[in-house]
């Protein structure tokens, strides 16, 4: 930090006034010498760039203070549409095309108070601080801006909460603020009146002629004793309600789920133990890991369980140590030298997270038709609930029991890559089912890799090394066989059988079964179901193995236009780390991302909306309409992955780039369900699917 308090690569001030975005930031001037510099906003997904010139306003021995301004009116077409923009400083060598991008960090949690309304579009453009502490901007449908800045447990069962919240569309000075509380157990909603808190600090930092932030602060006290009657663990979620009079009428509006934006680490996770008339309770107040939402968990206190949890935590830390990992690998290798345990099969689906996909179909066929096999599932401990009450033999992934079973099993069946460090025993047969017909370029066919924790060369080397362990590879059609052989450098036995996972789409596609599934999910019988199942983006991530997804589909607009006739079921890719808060869309939108097997969602849906996900190859077996929501197709096609065929010409359904177009095409499918490309698509990709793929794979691998 410099003597003036400025920090390298940090925004000193972000300010939006009228239609002007201004950013003042600090940077080591020696890094910018003899370079052309600009401050840019880069749109996630599309890669669109908006550039602002830079001027130096101060300098000392080490640092320069720079300022840049961008007109929000000049770029109205870009900024008024729902999107996320990340802020970078770009420095380019004057004598070459080499450039370097630096992410600009935030210095304040309240950046959201910098906003601009696009009235005609009904959207708002505002600044915010990302989970990693960087400056970004987001355009969303106009809504309340609200955050919790402080939340701490005090003596007894009290929680003190303070923050700020206001409606950017209203200039009302007299506003009643209430804290709305929901939970995960029942539909009961609590509310607490909040006191106003004078915020001259916010006014000084972000206010001006356009904004008055003196009165937007709030504070209140929550007494948990009112809510501690549950015997099971309960989680509380928080929202802000604003009510005021406008044009002689009482107006009430609700915020999105409140985030906990405190930068003080000691407040991020707090514990307390309290005594109530219902017994001793343990209270955990925290900021959720993925979205920074404020969450309070209350559960019965059990001293033995607390001690057990602490000991378990220490053991986990020991187990994850470098020395322990080396010993584990060595033990696996030594056990793998022993004779294989005959007719023992280990199944794994999507890294042990699900009981699903082709491994499930093969497992169920073996269980029903060949009971002589000993069948086990490798399961990530965090997802054991997906396997409970199914009568399945579970082996926790990377446990000692897993080590012995995995190293001695005669067969492995998986639909995704296993960790590279696992040495395949010479007596083990590895059946790789993979998990989709390829549209996007795979492995060795990829030009560039934009994933965290790797680069293009390393990714391809590791992928092909693991693929060299596969003895059998399942292919759904001749098109896929050719691509798999090349992209995976696979030269062993290709089983061109159709996908076992699709057997259910043929065998279970009847009215009684579809009705039973809807009843199980408590979905309305009198409305059509839209399944929205997009894929992940390689370049949108929190960290290695944790990808994010920004929901670009406007659910408010869909509900307004289609809510009388349709509901929406969301099914996100297993790599996506988001948890979407669909509380405002109760009765219209349902999140089934954590439901283990998508095949039941296929069967109950009347229409699929996807993008570049391979789900449309499977869904085609049902001969139902599909719409492709491809708002970022230029970037995805040209930068991230590339396609194996001309997707824009041959897609078995219309391509939409806006929510308006999605709605228009949904209405069109009511009159004409399938487009003219569908029959060619079906005959190319679905011709092998007859409900017998599992049988063909089992006969080839296990019985031959």
Contact by Cβ (8 Å): 585, 593: no
pLDDT above 60 (res 50): yes
pLDDT (0 to 100) of residue 635: 64
In this prediction, residue 640 carries a pLDDT of 46
Q: Of 647, 652, 646, whose CA–CA distance to 679 is shortest? A: 652
145-301 carries CATH number 2.50.20: no
Asked if residue 211 has pLDDT above 50, the reply is yes
Banded pLDDT at 265 (limits 50, 70, 90):
low
Q: What is the pLDDT of residue 447?
A: 66
- Closest residue by Cα to residue 694 from 505, 500, 502, 504: 500
Type and span of the H or E element at 452? none
DSSP class per residue in 241-268: EEEEEETTEEEEEEPSSPBB----HHHH
- 263-272 mean pLDDT: 69
Q: Which residues make beta-bridge pairs with 147?
A: 164
The pair of three-digit structure tokens given for residue 577, joined into one six-digit string: 């780390």
Q: What is the pLDDT of residue 439?
A: 84
pTM of the entire predicted model: 0.58
- Tell me the CATH architecture of domain 322-502: 3-Layer(aba) Sandwich (3.40)
The two domains 11-140 and 145-301 share their CATH topology (first three levels equal)? yes
**Cα(3)–Cα(350) distance, rounded to whole angstroms?**
51
Bigger pLDDT: 88 or 542? 88
Q: Strand ranges (DSSP E) for 154-233?
A: 158-166, 176-183, 190-193, 195-197, 217-223
Give pLDDT, residue 454.
61
CATH superfamily of 503-685: CDP-glycerol glycerophosphotransferase, C-terminal domain (3.40.50.12580)
Which tokens sit at 699? 């006969």
Q: What's the whole-number average pLDDT of the chain?
A: 85
Which of 397-406, 418-427, 539-548, 598-607 has the lowest average pLDDT? 539-548
Q: What are the tens digits of pLDDT across the range 574-583?
A: 444 345 567 7
The architecture that CATH gives domain 11-140 is: Sandwich (2.60)
CA distance 238 to 190: 10
At residue 502, the 3 state secondary structure works out as helix
Provide CB contacts within 8 A for 569, sequence distance 6+: 523, 529, 530, 531, 532, 589, 590, 592, 601, 604, 605
pLDDT value for 222: 86
> H-helix or E-strand containing 331?
helix 322-335
Strands (E), 247-363: 249-254, 269-276, 279-287, 294-300, 341-348
Residue 471 has pLDDT above 90, yes or no: yes
Task: For residues 146 and 257, give the distance between their C-alpha atoms in angstroms, rounded to a whole number.
Answer: 9
Closest listed residue to residue 357, CA positions, set 620, 606, 694, 621: 694
Q: How far is residue 58 CA from its own chain's centroid?
A: 41
Q: Which of 33, 30, 21, 28 is nearest to 6 (CA)?
A: 28
Share of the chain above pLDDT 70, in %: 87
Q: How confident is the model at residue 203 (pLDDT cuts 50, 70, 90)?
A: confident
8 Å CB contact between 181 and 293 = no
Domain coordinates in residue numbering, the chain: 11-140, 145-301, 322-502, 503-685
pLDDT range class, residue 262, cuts 50, 70, 90: confident
Mean pLDDT along residues 33-54 = 84
pLDDT of residue 537: 44
Q: pLDDT per residue over 620-671, tens digit each?
A: 999 999 999 988 777 666 544 468 888 888 899 999 989 999 999 999 999 8
Cα 472 to Cα 222: distance, rounded to the nearest angstrom:
59
d(CA 531, CA 433) in angstroms, rounded, equals: 24
- Residue 53 and residue 94: Cα distance in Å, rounded? 16
- Give the model's pLDDT for residue 267: 64
Please write down the long-range contacts of 46-49, taking CB distance under 8 Å and 24 or more positions apart: 46/83, 46/631, 46/632, 46/634, 46/635, 47/635, 47/639, 48/78
């Amino acid at each position: 930090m410099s003597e003036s308090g400025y920090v390298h690569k940090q925004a000193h001030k972000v300010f939006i006034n009228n239609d002007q975005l201004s950013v003042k930031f600090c940077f080591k001037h020696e890094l910018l010498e003899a370079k052309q510099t600009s401050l840019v906003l880069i749109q996630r997904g599309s890669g669109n760039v908006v550039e602002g010139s830079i001027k130096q306003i101060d300098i000392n021995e080490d640092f320069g203070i720079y300022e840049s301004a961008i007109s929000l009116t000049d770029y109205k077409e870009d900024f008024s549409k729902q999107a996320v923009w990340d802020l970078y400083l770009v420095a380019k060598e004057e004598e070459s095309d080499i450039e370097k991008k630096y992410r600009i960090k935030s210095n304040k949690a309240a950046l959201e108070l910098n906003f601009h309304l696009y009235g005609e579009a009904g959207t708002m453009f505002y600044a915010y601080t990302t989970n990693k502490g960087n400056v970004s901007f987001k355009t969303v449908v106009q809504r309340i801006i609200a955050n919790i800045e402080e939340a701490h447990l005090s003596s007894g069962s009290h929680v003190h909460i303070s923050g700020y919240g206001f409606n950017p569309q209203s200039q009302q000075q007299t506003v009643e603020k209430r804290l709305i509380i929901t939970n995960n157990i029942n539909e009961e909603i609590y509310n607490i009146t909040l006191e106003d808190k004078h915020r001259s600090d916010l006014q000084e930092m972000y206010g001006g002629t356009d904004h008055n932030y003196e009165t937007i602060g709030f504070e209140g006290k929550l007494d948990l004793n009112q809510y501690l009657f549950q015997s099971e663990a309960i989680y509380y979620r928080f929202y802000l309600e604003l009510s005021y009079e406008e044009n002689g009428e009482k107006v009430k509006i609700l915020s999105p789920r409140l985030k906990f934006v405190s930068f003080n680490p000691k407040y991020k996770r707090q514990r307390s133990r309290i005594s109530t008339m219902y017994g001793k309770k343990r209270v955990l107040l925290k900021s959720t890991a993925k979205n920074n939402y404020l969450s309070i968990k209350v559960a019965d206190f059990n001293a033995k369980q607390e001690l057990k949890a602490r000991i378990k935590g220490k053991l986990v830390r020991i187990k994850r140590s470098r020395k322990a990992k080396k010993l584990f690998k060595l033990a696996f290798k030594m056990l793998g030298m022993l004779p294989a345990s005959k007719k023992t099969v280990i199944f794994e689906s999507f890294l042990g997270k699900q009981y699903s996909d082709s491994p499930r179909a093969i497992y169920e066929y073996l269980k029903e038709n060949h009971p002589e096999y000993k069948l086990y599932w490798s399961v990530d401990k965090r997802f054991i609930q997906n396997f409970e009450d199914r009568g399945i033999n579970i082996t926790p992934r990377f446990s000692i029991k897993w080590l012995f079973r995995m190293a001695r099993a005669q067969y492995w069946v998986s639909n995704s890559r296993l960790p590279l460090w696992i040495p395949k025993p010479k007596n083990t047969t590895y059946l790789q089912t993979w998990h989709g017909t390829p549209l996007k370029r795979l492995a060795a066919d990829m030009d560039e890799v934009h994933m965290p924790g790797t680069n293009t060369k390393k990714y391809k080397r590791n992928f092909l090394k693991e693929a060299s362990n596969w003895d059998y590879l399942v292919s759904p059609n001749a098109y896929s066989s050719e691509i798999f052989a090349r992209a995976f450098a696979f030269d062993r036995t290709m089983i061109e059988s159709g996908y076992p996972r699709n057997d259910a789409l043929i065998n279970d596609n009847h009215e009684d079964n579809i009705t039973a599934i809807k009843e199980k999910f408590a979905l309305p019988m009198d409305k059509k179901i839209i399944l929205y199942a997009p894929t992940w983006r390689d370049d949108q991530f929190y960290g290695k193995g944790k990808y994010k997804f920004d929901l670009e589909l406007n659910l408010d607009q869909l509900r307004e236009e289609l809510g009388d006739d349709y509901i929406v079921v969301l099914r996100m890719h297993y790599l996506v780390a988001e948890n979407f808060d669909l509380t405002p869309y109760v009765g219209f939108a349902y999140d089934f991302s954590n439901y283990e097997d998508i095949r039941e969602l296929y069967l109950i849906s009347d229409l699929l909306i996807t993008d570049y996900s391979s789900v449309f190859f499977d869904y085609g077996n049902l001969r139902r309409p599909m719409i492709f929501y491809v708002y970022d197709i230029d970037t995805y096609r040209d930068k991230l992955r590339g396609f194996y065929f001309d997707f824009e010409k041959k897609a078995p359904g219309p391509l939409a780039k806006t929510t308006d177009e999605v709605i228009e095409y949904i209405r069109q499918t009511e009159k004409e369900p399938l487009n003219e490309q569908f029959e060619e698509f079906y005959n190319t990709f679905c011709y092998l699917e007859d409900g017998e793929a599992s049988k063909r794979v089992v006969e080839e691998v296990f019985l031959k």
